[in-house]
Amino acid sequence: MFRVKKDDQVMVIAGRDRGKKGKVRQLFPADSKVVVEGLNLVKKSVRRSEANPQGAILSKESRLPLDRVMPVCPRCNRGVRVGFKVAADGSKNRICRKCGEGF
């Protein structure tokens, strides 16, 4: 089980986008990478086409290593470490290590 899931709010802890928050758009478990909405933007050159008659330079989100992001606790409103707690029915839940709140 990963500490980050799709649609989670995360904070970048290293790199040029350090301190910024965003929503997880896509996960790549095999590569341990994640795409965060609006962060780690890279420039991409596009050839001429009907959609772009003159060509273009577009900004798109690139993958980030999973160890560069931390989940944001809804209660603490900051990047926190994640713990796991097994419920009575056997399900595994993520909890904030700081406040103990589940998310």
Domain contains 85: no
Q: Name the maximum alpha-carbon separation found in the chain.
A: 61
pLDDT digits (tens, 9 = 90+) for 21-70: 999 999 999 999 999 999 999 999 999 999 889 999 999 999 999 999 99
pLDDT for the residue numbered 1: 58
Distances (CA, A) of 82 to 24, 48, 96: 16, 46, 5
The parent domain of residue 54 ranges over 9-73
Tokens of 103: 């998310």
Cα separation of 6 and 10, whole Å? Answer: 10
Whether residue 53 contacts residue 42, with contact meaning beta carbons closer than 8 Å, is answered with no
Q: What tokens appear for 63 in the block?
A: 């993958």
The pTM of this model reads 0.81
Question: Residue 44 domain-assigned?
Answer: yes
Question: Within a domain: residue 90?
Answer: no
